Amino acid sequence: MTQYNIIGTRMPRVDSRAKVMGKAKFTADLKLPHMLVGKIKRSPYAHARIISIDASKALALPGVRSVVTGKDTEGVKWGVFAYTRDQQFLQTDKARYIGDEVAAVAAVDEDTAQKALDLIDVTYEELPAVYDPMAAMASETELIHAEYPNNINIHVNIDTGNVDENFAKAHYIREDTFTAPEESYFQAEPYAVVARFDSDDCLEVWCPNGGPHMKSKPLSNSFKIPLHKVKIRRIAIGGAFGGRSEICPADYICALLAKKTGCPVKIEFTREENTIGTRQGHSMITTHKTGVDKEGRVLARETTCYMDGGAYSSTGPIATSVPFLSMEQAYRMGSVRYNGFRVYTNKPIRGMIRTHGRGFACGLDTQLDMIAEHLGIDPVEMRLRNSRQPGEYTSTRSLVGSCAMDETIRKAAEKAGWTEKWGKLPPFHGIGIGTNSVQTGFPMGIRGGSQSFIKFNEDGEATVMSGVVDNGQGNENMLVQIAAEELGLLPEDIHLVNADTETTSSDPGSYSQVSTFVGGQAVKNAAANCKAKLFDVASKILKVPADTLAAKNRMIFVQDDPEKCVPLKKVVRVALTNFISVNAEGGYWPKVDMKREWVSNPYGQMCEAFSFGTTIIEVKVDPETGQVTVLNCVACQDVGKALNPLVLEGQFEGSVAMGGQGGMLTEYHEWRDGRCLNPTMLDYKLPLACDMPPIHNIIVESIEPKGPYGAKEAAMSIAMSAAQAYAAAVSNAIGVYMDSFPVTPDKILAAIKKKK
């Protein structure tokens, strides 16, 4: 195995110290001269025609600098795809959910801005609203979007053929339906955005984001200004989880107010706005029909899923596909037919989320357990019989390269004591397993690749430029580790300029789990090109061929004779003195099937690598209260290569909290007529540190040949499989297969009672 100096070490993250000491600056901390406060007026009605908007009273209030409405937007519409542009940044004709943007103000301070909002007089005509996808499809009242019959926004159909034939050959078939409500991200940092136009009419924007280049393009389109005039700046970010990848109407509104006033404007969301006015995870009703042979191997599967998409398309085509894709990657499915319907309702907009489709995945795994029980097969064995193997193609024809799915199952089972515990635990104790697979990338067209540029300073330190953004997962540290490793420098010698659209090249963002694989690889390639230039210069100094050289700890030396060396700094200085460039660029473009499209052609190479994860959970259920105590958690993932086990374990643990402890036990929204009743951290039951179980992390390294140092997606497979394992463990404890998620105490108690 290759020996690395910095890759694979448990190096504390470069950004940790500033964050724990409160020194890191987030968007809400920004203060610019003459900055105004922006606030958004949102619809209090779930579905209503906008008759008129009168802003005269607001404009007359001293301290108010601008009021904007849909009339000021020139009708621009947003949608991730050309065929999903259904959202105006400020509505002109009607509001489609409680929270829809209808107007905005910029004022000298927050109190004035709030007063001005209250003075904007909007006359609405309320329309009948629908809050449930099934009701929305059957509804005969006014469509939410006139051009989408039955309120069906997206229909993804995947069919490998031979489904009915293979069902006919099956030894055992069952069909079950599973439900799960929407979920929220609760990023630690509520959304905020600062925008200003500078003296050259360039738009500068600071905001939490999942990729600066994904924000700059829609802003460039909307304001009809060239891309180089849109400068998204790097700023510390407190979480994204998929919810900050797209442009947010607030970004556009903030920039519009800045344009109108000629001043910088800041919009800070309240926690409630962050919950209802950004994105949520989809609620789902999923039916899995599965046919197996006598050994429990899946021959055919038919899955139909109805997703509540809320008021607008958002990332609809992707979100309608990913729950299915994660499962087709994890398990061989034989022949499969998938129909995913994303349905408009008058609820907040649903988008990408880290735990795509908890009900979908948990349902598929639960059904495997049901089939295993019927056939007398142990759940671990059931998974091994259906697990993805390296070298295979997925149902939608992606070649799977590195794959250590079986190893994650075996190692997790061994650590959890599965054989000693399965079927042998006392009453109301349970153990459950979940397995999942996540993509390392999507086909993203023009923004699918990343480029990096590295320049040396005369003191021998390097400045690395990369479009990769860090929204909490440690991407900046990852880039520093890679650059330091490759250049033979120490991490403190690397100065990162990243996530800034003015100074960095195009990059897909921390979207589709691709930052390390694509962005990290671009930095690695740029550094390798730098190193080749440095070695050319060093070979002349040391009078040895360049290919005999290596770099480490700020020294360039002869591999077989390390005493023969020259400080890297000296090489840089010699190069500069002799007018030789040691700066270099490098890039990485994943080889995916560019013809693959979410709706029109959902087949072909999805991405270059897939991660595989297994989580095993052991629980105790109180049979009188339905309360669950999680006794143990084993989280095991094939990450290709752990670039930093310390960071990775933190990601695993966060995944268990989000996917399992919160996602499967306590987190759900309460509603009344489209109004979210628990939009705050007090009322939406995120787990706290003291709620978390002991977690044993197991890292499996399959060394993905196409990844940087063998790395691929890390920790999302845990977030997904943790949800499945939690559901399975509770089901095992009470002897009832749960089909409604999350598994809250009331449902558990009702299931126990029903069984009696």
Q: What DSSP line would sit under 129-162, residue for residue?
A: ---SHHHHHH--S--SSTTSGGGEEEEEEEE-S-
Q: What DSSP line would sit under 190-240, residue for residue?
A: --EEEEEE-TTS-EEEE---S-HHHHHHHHHHHHT--GGGEEEPP-B----
CB of 455 to other proteins, least distance (A): 45
Contact with other proteins (CB under 8 A): which of 59, 85, 678, 696? 678
Of 106 and 454, the one with the shorter C-beta distance to other proteins is 106
Q: What DSSP line would sit under 459-478, residue for residue?
A: TS-EEEEE----SSS-HHHH
Of 370 and 686, the one with the shorter C-beta distance to other proteins is 686
Of 110 and 198, the one with the shorter C-beta distance to other proteins is 110
> Interface with other proteins includes 670 (CB under 8 A)?
yes
Structure tokens given for 158: 């995947």
> Interface with other proteins includes 287 (CB under 8 A)?
no
CB of 20 to other proteins, least distance (A): 17
Q: For the chain, how far is it from start to end, CA to CA, in angstroms?
A: 57
CB of 666 to other proteins, least distance (A): 5
CB of 110 to other proteins, least distance (A): 6
CB of 273 to other proteins, least distance (A): 8
Of 271 and 421, the one with the shorter C-beta distance to other proteins is 271
CB of 682 to other proteins, least distance (A): 7
Q: Give the largest Cα separation in the chain, rounded.
A: 86
Window contacting other proteins (CB under 8 A); options: 6-14, 487-495, 644-652, 688-696: 688-696
- Nearest 5°: phi and psi at 645? -60, -30
Structure tokens given for 191: 């959304």
> Interface with other proteins includes 110 (CB under 8 A)?
yes
Of 256 and 665, the one with the shorter C-beta distance to other proteins is 665
Binders in 246-285 for other proteins, by CB under 8 A: 270, 272
Closest CA to 358 of 727, 55, 737: 727
Q: What DSSP line would sit under 492-504, residue for residue?
A: GGEEEEES-TTTS
Binders in 410-469 for other proteins, by CB under 8 A: none
Map residues 1-40 to x or -, x wherever contact with other proteins holds by CB under 8 A: ----------------------------------------
Binders in 167-186 for other proteins, by CB under 8 A: none
Write down the number of H helices and E strands in the chain: 20, 30
Of 269 and 517, the one with the shorter C-beta distance to other proteins is 269
- Nearest 5°: phi and psi at 571? -60, -45
Of 495 and 675, the one with the shorter C-beta distance to other proteins is 675
CB of 13 to other proteins, least distance (A): 25
Of 633 and 676, the one with the shorter C-beta distance to other proteins is 676
Spatial distance between the Cα atoms of 360 and 363, rounded to a whole number of angstroms: 5
Spatial distance between the Cα atoms of 251 and 237, rounded to a whole number of angstroms: 15
Of 82 and 682, the one with the shorter C-beta distance to other proteins is 682
CB of 680 to other proteins, least distance (A): 9
Closest CA to 160 of 334, 376, 293, 350: 334
**Do 655 and 692 form a contact (C-beta atoms < 8 A)?**
no
AA letter at 721: S
Place of tokens 């809400």: 28
DSSP 731: H
- What element of type H or E holds 303? strand 298-310
> Interface with other proteins includes 125 (CB under 8 A)?
no
Of 217 and 747, the one with the shorter C-beta distance to other proteins is 747
**CB hemisphere CA count around 115 (13 angstroms):** 14
CB of 125 to other proteins, least distance (A): 13
> Interface with other proteins includes 682 (CB under 8 A)?
yes
> Interface with other proteins includes 114 (CB under 8 A)?
yes
Window contacting other proteins (CB under 8 A); options: 60-68, 282-290, 530-538, 679-687: 679-687
Window contacting other proteins (CB under 8 A); options: 144-152, 638-646, 704-712, 745-753: 745-753
**Do 338 and 324 form a contact (C-beta atoms < 8 A)?**
yes
Map residues 612-651 to x or -, x wherever contact with other proteins holds by CB under 8 A: ------------xxxx------------------------
Map residues 74-103 to x or -, x wherever contact with other proteins holds by CB under 8 A: ------------------------x-----
Contact with other proteins (CB under 8 A): which of 4, 691, 696, 703? 691
Spatial distance between the Cα atoms of 632 and 418, rounded to a whole number of angstroms: 12
- What element of type H or E holds 529? helix 521-542
Q: How many positions of this chain bind other proteins (CB under 8 A)?
A: 35
Window contacting other proteins (CB under 8 A); options: 64-72, 340-348, 715-723, 742-750: 742-750
Contact with other proteins (CB under 8 A): which of 8, 379, 590, 687? 687
**Do 45 and 128 form a contact (C-beta atoms < 8 A)?**
no
746: helix, strand or coil: helix
**Do 66 and 113 form a contact (C-beta atoms < 8 A)?**
no
Spatial distance between the Cα atoms of 433 and 369, rounded to a whole number of angstroms: 9
Contact with other proteins (CB under 8 A): which of 228, 561, 683, 705? 683
> Interface with other proteins includes 660 (CB under 8 A)?
no
Window contacting other proteins (CB under 8 A); options: 22-30, 479-487, 683-691, 694-702: 683-691
**Do 396 and 336 form a contact (C-beta atoms < 8 A)?**
no
580: helix, strand or coil: coil
How big is the chain, counted in residues? 756
Contact with other proteins (CB under 8 A): which of 543, 672, 754, 755? 672
Window contacting other proteins (CB under 8 A); options: 63-71, 228-236, 299-307, 669-677: 669-677
Closest CA to 234 of 499, 511, 507: 499
Of 60 and 688, the one with the shorter C-beta distance to other proteins is 688
Contact with other proteins (CB under 8 A): which of 111, 125, 165, 492? 111
Map residues 41-70 to x or -, x wherever contact with other proteins holds by CB under 8 A: -xxxx-------------------------
Window contacting other proteins (CB under 8 A); options: 211-219, 223-231, 419-427, 676-684: 676-684
Ramachandran category for residue 417: left, alpha or beta (phi over 0 → left; psi -120 to 50 → alpha): left
Window contacting other proteins (CB under 8 A); options: 110-118, 354-362, 418-426, 442-450: 110-118
C-beta pairs of 271-274 under 8 Å, 24+ apart in sequence: 271/190, 271/679, 271/680, 271/681, 272/676, 272/679, 272/680, 273/40, 273/42, 273/99, 273/190, 273/191, 274/186, 274/187, 274/190, 274/191
Of 16 and 270, the one with the shorter C-beta distance to other proteins is 270
> Interface with other proteins includes 746 (CB under 8 A)?
yes
CB of 112 to other proteins, least distance (A): 11
> Interface with other proteins includes 567 (CB under 8 A)?
no
> Interface with other proteins includes 560 (CB under 8 A)?
no
742: helix, strand or coil: coil
AA letter at 478: M
Contact with other proteins (CB under 8 A): which of 643, 738, 749, 752? 749
CB of 320 to other proteins, least distance (A): 30
Which residues contact other proteins (rule: CB under 8 A)?
Answer: 42-45, 98, 110-111, 114, 270, 272, 624-627, 666, 670, 672-673, 675-679, 682-683, 685-688, 690-691, 744-746, 749
